Every structure is written in C-alpha cells, then in structure tokens.
Amino acid sequence: MTQILTGAALFDGTTIRPGLALAIEGDRIAAILTEAEAPAGAIDLNGGVLAPGLIDLQVNGGDGILLDGSATVDTLARICAAHARLGVTGILPTLITDTPQATAAVIRAGIAAAKARVPGFLGLHLEGPHLDPRRHGAHDPALIRPMTEDDLAALIAAARALPALMVTLAPASARPDQIAALRAAGAVVSLGHADCTLAEAAAAHAAGATCVTHLFNAMSALGSREPGLVGAALSLPLACGLIADGVHVHPETIRLALAAKRAGAVFLVSDAMAVAGTDLTEFHLGHRRILRRDGRLTLEDGTLAGADLSLPQAVRFMIEQVGVAPERALAMATRIPAQVIGADRGRIAPGLPADLVHFDADWNLTRVWQAGAPVQAN
C-alpha cells in the first residue's frame, strides 16, 4: 500500500524543507517528492512539520506499568505502544537500580522482545545498580553496589544479544577496565548518578564512556575549583541526555549548557515513569509511593522521581521556553539519540522505517505513524 503525505514542511533529521511530499510504501519510506509531484488523493497535512518518529533513550515505564523484575515481552510491548501514542516510535525501556535477579529478568525479556520484533523496541537502558550512593536520587541506596565480574559478564552477554544496550554507571562503582570491556562488547556506557571529579570522569571517558545521563541531575556540580561531572559533560566529547521540562533543569541553565558544550551532542529524554499516557495520580516504585502533582513526580519527601513529560512536550519546551531553533530541537529528539545508540533511524530518507510524527504550527502533536501504519496520538 502506497501513502503520500503532503502539505507540511519536511524535517529530514537536519533541515526543515518546505514544498515537499513523502511517499510511503508498506513500512518504509519510498521517496521524497516535490508537492507538484504528489498525485491526487494524497493526504494533506494542512501545514505544520512532518518529522521522523521521536526516539527516547530513557523510558522507565508507561501505560500504568513501571519496568521491573516482573517484565515480560508483553510488558515491554505495552510500554512501547504507550509511547508510540505519545509520538515516540523508538525507545530504550529503562530499568533503574534493582536486584541482580530483576536485572537478569529484564534482560531476558528484552532479548525476547528483540526476537519478537516488538514495534518501537530499540534495546534496553540499565540505569544502575552500579552508581554512586552519594548521588542516589530516587534510586534505592540499599540496592546500589559496585560492579562485580559476574555483573560484567552478564552485561557483556546482554550487549551482544540486544539491538542496543545503554548502561548508566558511576566511576565510584565501575573500574576503567570494566568500562572498556562493556564498550568493546557494544554497550553504550553513560556516566550518571555520580559524585565524581573531572579527572575521574575523564578517565571513564578515556576507557570508553560516551554519554552522560540526565545532565545536571544526580551528579557533581560545576564548581570554581572542581568542574565535577557537569564540567566533564560540557567540556569532553560526551553525548548528554537532558530532561527539558523546566522542573529538572532551568531554561537559562539549558541555554548556558548549549552555549558551553564544546564537543558531543545534547539529546532529549523524557525519563518517563508508569504514569506516561495515563491520568494516574500516583504509583509505587518498589515499596515507595510516587506522587504526581503539578507536573512533577516525587517521592513523599519531595525528591524528584523521574519526570511527568513526553518527548513532544520537551521539543515544544526547547523551542518556546529555551529559544532553540526548531531544527535543533527536533534533531535532539530524533537523529541525535539514534546516533548515540548506532541505530539507522531518526531521519527521513528512502529505505528507512516509515516512523513519522506531525506537529501543527504551534508544536502540538497531531499524528503518528509507526512502520507506515497510523497510530492514534494521545
């Protein structure tokens, strides 16, 4: 079945290009046409911007489900489907610090989901348990622990079996040789939940870390005498995930970071929790109650616990509140995260998956396509 989409400017992953139409054949992009070449019967999008489906590398849950040790293929499929309705057609479901048994169960489910070709499943993100207890945030400090050789072997096997594996760790809990082994196996090593120095972060980067998890949050701050992990993130060629909701990071801080970033790229993440795509007002993270109030998710003591955010909302925030050019904001949610995990998507080009989203002139999400099929947008 051929579909022709016309009437919207086309963001190809780098540039917004007016006057074009897009041909979809089955589940793939077939061709980019001029509007004059669009045949009668084309779908008129009536303005706005047609972009690649959004990609989120930090998704803890959705549709009322939090990823945990009870995960199955169906669990992962439900989370992926919930985010597709929010415009995110590719995700890394994310397990935060948990027991070795829970981690192993999630890895098994992820490998099975990859074999089953679950729509939207791009791999896994394991955020912990090898973190720094001094920067545990909403993670259970009782479960944080150094990486053992058994842990390393399990992660190496997972990296080889999954389409992509991101591992967030802290230099305090993982040695440079362990980081190097993970990188050699194909894992994306991201530094986060760390109270490290610039020198410690630089050593981890030299060993193979290529990314930083939720920039500014749960990490050593930029100081006059010690740059910390924030300073490392801004000065080293590290890709940086960013929660752009105005709660986790102030708009002016984002502007300063984008101006200061010398190398590497910044990409958007939602850090979404179980409430994504629902009207739930609370849920449980292990034995702890998480409250949803005024655009925030917090523990009962007020500690932030993930974000009440969708990636289209983050794109709009970057454009309207931070003042980023639309091309850059869209790239931060499409091409850049795809590049971070080595996935050939996040762009509009012939032969790529027909995962697409449409924004109206006010940057509201109006339509979603996954593998060429329309998805009912939330």
Asked if residue 204 lies in contact with residue 176, where contact means CB atoms within 8 angstroms, the answer is yes
User: What tens digit of pLDDT does each residue of 18-76 get?
Assistant: 999 999 999 999 999 999 898 888 999 999 999 999 999 999 999 999 999 999 999 99
pLDDT at residue 378, rounded to an integer: 76
> Do 12 and 98 lie in a common domain?
no
CATH number assigned to the domain comprising residue 78: 3.20.20.140
**Residues 268-324: pLDDT tens digits?**
999 998 888 888 888 888 788 888 988 888 888 888 888 889 999 999 999 999 999
Looking at the structure, tell me whether residues 59 and 31 fall in a common domain: no
Q: What integer pLDDT is reported at residue 294 of this predicted model?
A: 86
Residue 368 above 90 pLDDT?
yes
Burial of residue 27 (number of CB atoms within 10 Å: 0-12, 13-18, 19+): middle
Catalytic residue among 195, 271, 308, 355: 271
pLDDT value of position 6: 96
46 and 60 part of one domain: no
Print the domain residue range for 8: 2-51+348-375
Q: Are residues 278 and 225 in the same domain?
A: yes
Residue 189 shares a structural domain with residue 125 = yes
User: In terms of domains, do 370 and 290 share one?
Assistant: no
Catalytic-residue membership of 294: no
CB 218 within 8 A of CB 135: yes
Quote the number of domains for the chain.
Answer: 2
14 and 137 inside one domain: no
Looking at the fold, whether 314 and 355 belong to one and the same domain comes out as no
Do both 358 and 232 map to the same domain?
no
User: Residues 83-101: pLDDT tens digits?
Assistant: 999 999 999 999 999 999 9
A 10 A CB-CB count for 330 gives: 30
- Which pLDDT band holds residue 359 (cuts at 50, 70, 90)? very high
For residue 41 the two structure tokens come to: 């019967």
Residue 282: strand pairing partners: 291
Q: Place 227 in a pLDDT band, splitting at 50, 70 and 90.
A: very high
Contact call for residues 73 and 109 (beta carbons, < 8 A): yes
Q: Are residues 17 and 125 in the same domain?
A: no
For residue 55, the model assigns a pLDDT of 98
Q: Which helix (H) or strand (E) holds 331?
A: helix 326-331
Q: Which of 244, 246, 243, 212 is nearest to 228 (CA)?
A: 212
> Whole-prediction pTM value?
0.96
CATH code: domain of residue 30: 2.30.40.10
> d(Cα 266, Cα 333) in Å, to the nearest integer?
9
Q: Are residues 27 and 163 in the same domain?
A: no
Q: Is residue 75 domain-shared with residue 179, that is, in the same domain?
A: yes
